[in-house]
Amino acid sequence: QKEVEQDPGPLSVPEGAIVSLNCTYSNSAFQYFMWYRQYSRKGPELLMYTYSSGNKEDGRFTAQVDKSSKYISLFIRDSQPSDSATYLCAIRTNFGNEKLTFGTGTRLTIIP
């Protein structure tokens, strides 16, 4: 079983829709949860970071963590064509461990 599972998509939704992106993980020692956005031919850029269960909101983006189910989600409201990218979840154990475990990424396309 992979440490982090992420549906690779591709996922296409119309502009303005709510997008839900998800990852599951197997190691209960994971404590820090991140979402990165990666445009084509570019490096990943951090969107959201959280280390607790519950929701964290930043503008149109909401990160949700359910540690009991080992499930994390990223919601995008009022999706825009500029949101078209690959979204990667990344998870880490406790502080001092430099290894980030990345999901395989979900390719998202927002259709105008």
Handedness of CA 107, 35, 78, 69 (dihedral sign): positive
Q: Which stretch binds another protein (CB under 8 A): 1-9, 13-21, 56-64, 71-79?
A: 1-9
Among the listed residues 25, 33, 103, 106, the single contact to another protein using CB under 8 A:
103
Q: HSE on the CB side for 21, CA within 13 Å?
A: 36
Q: Which is nearer to another protein, 12 or 94 (CB)?
A: 94
**Distance between CA 109 and CA 34 in Å, rounded?**
21
Binding site for another protein (CB under 8 A): 4, 6, 8, 32, 34, 41-46, 49, 51, 88, 90, 95, 98-105
